[in-house]
């Protein structure tokens, strides 16, 4: 079964780039499916950030599109999130997620990693 | 983008009672691609229901999903202590996924 584990810095300075990686186990990322990121500000709800599909196509939340890049590293069996020009509003728990097909929901989720934007 | 509005914001109930959670979409959800997730404190969300009414493997039958188009419901027939949590709906029917703001089911 697919398992996901996020990693990356827990503290990022304002205006810098947030970079996170999600290691995938139990499945070869080259074989298909789709991969994504969701975030949750402290005490608030879930916000979808974007997905990357087996084809390499990406979809992003419109309000984040200018700052977000999701990419796949097939050799490492992992995928990544980069969010540029961060502010305090980007402080959140970031979850990586998996979907079996373009018509399926997120399952499973990684455990999440808290990223704080502060100087 | 499709906006999902969940109601109520908070449900205060006792164990053994039933819960009805609503999720209303601003436009029709394609193919009823509507999911429900449960999030317990300090944990990642977990998928409960997909396709509006299909349970994931192993989900207790006290959980059921229903609805179509723009109106969806998650019903928990008899609340167990582990069911007190926050529940989110999500639509995945187009390329821009969205979540509802969540309903907290708390112990009365």
State pLDDT tens for residues A31-88. Answer: 889 999 999 999 999 999 999 998 889 999 999 999 999 999 999 999 999 999 999 9
- Per-residue three-class SS string for A93-108: EEEEEEECCCCCCCCC
Q: Residue with structure tokens 């969806």?
A: B72
- Model confidence band, residue B60 (pLDDT cutoffs 50, 70, 90): very high
Residue-level pLDDT at B20: 98
Contacting B with CB below 8 Å, chain A residues are 36, 38, 45-48, 51, 59, 61-62, 95, 99, 103-112
Average the pLDDT over B25-36 and give the result.
96
pLDDT surpassing 90 at residue B100: yes
Q: Hunting for tokens 């929901």 — which residue is that?
A: A105
Give pLDDT, residue A40.
Answer: 98
Distance from CA of A107 to the nearest CA of B (A): 6
Predicted confidence at residue A30, as pLDDT, reads: 87
- Contact by Cβ (8 Å): A99, A105: yes
Determine whether the interchain pair B97/A95 forms a contact, defined as Cβ–Cβ distance below 8 Å: no
Contact of B85 with B102, CB cutoff 8 Å: no
DSSP state of B74: E
pLDDT for A101 equals 86
* Buried/exposed A49-74: b ≥16 CB within 10 Å, e otherwise: bbbbbeeeebbbbeebeebbbbebee
Nearest to B39 by CA among B91, B7, B83: B83
Mean pLDDT (whole number) for A11-33: 95
Q: Where are the beta strands (DSSP E) in chain A?
A: 3-7, 11-12, 18-25, 34-40, 47-53, 58-60, 68-73, 78-83, 92-99, 113-117
Nearest to A4 by CA among A115, A114, A109: A109
Which band of pLDDT confidence, cut at 50, 70 and 90, is reported for residue A10?
Answer: very high
Residue A89 has pLDDT above 90, yes or no: yes
Residue A35: closest CA among A49, A14, A45, A15: A49
Q: What percentage of residues in chain A have a pLDDT greater than 70?
A: 100
Structure tokens at B55: 């349970």
Q: Which of A88-97, B35-44, B45-54, B87-96 has the lowest mean pLDDT?
A: B87-96
Judge: A51–B56 Cβ closer than 8 Å, yes or no.
Answer: no
Residue B94 has pLDDT above 90, yes or no: no
Token output for B62: 């006290």
What is the rounded distance in angstroms from the CA atom of residue B74 to the CA atom of residue B7?
Answer: 11
Percent of chain B whose pLDDT exceeds 90: 95
**Tell me, what's the pLDDT at B30?**
94
B104 vs A54, which has greater pLDDT? B104
Residues A83, A18: contact at Cβ < 8 Å? yes
């Amino acid at each position: 079964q697919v398992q996901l584990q996020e990693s990356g810095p827990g503290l990022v300075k304002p205006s810098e780039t947030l970079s996170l990686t999600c290691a995938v186990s139990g499945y070869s990322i080259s074989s298909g499916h789709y991969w994504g990121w969701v975030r949750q500000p402290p005490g608030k709800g879930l916000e979808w950030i974007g997905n990357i599909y087996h084809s390499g196509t990406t979809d992003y939340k419109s309000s984040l599109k200018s700052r977000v890049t999701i990419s796949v590293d097939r050799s490492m069996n992992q995928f990544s999130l980069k969010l540029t020009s961060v502010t305090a509003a980007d402080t959140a728990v970031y979850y990586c997620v998996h979907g079996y097909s373009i018509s399926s929901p997120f399952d499973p989720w990684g455990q999440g990693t808290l990223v704080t934007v502060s100087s | 983008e499709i906006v999902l509005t969940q109601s109520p914001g908070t449900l205060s109930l006792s164990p053994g009672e039933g819960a009805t959670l609503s999720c209303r979409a601003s436009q029709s959800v394609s193919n009823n691609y509507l999911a429900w997730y449960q999030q317990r404190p300090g944990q990642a969300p977990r998928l409960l229901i997909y396709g509006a009414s299909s349970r994931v493997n192993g989900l207790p039958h006290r959980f059921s999903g229903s609805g179509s188009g723009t109106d969806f419901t998650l019903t928990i027939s008899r609340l167990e202590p582990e069911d007190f949590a926050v529940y989110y709906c999500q639509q995945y029917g187009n390329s821009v996924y969205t979540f509802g703001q969540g309903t907290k089911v708390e112990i009365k």
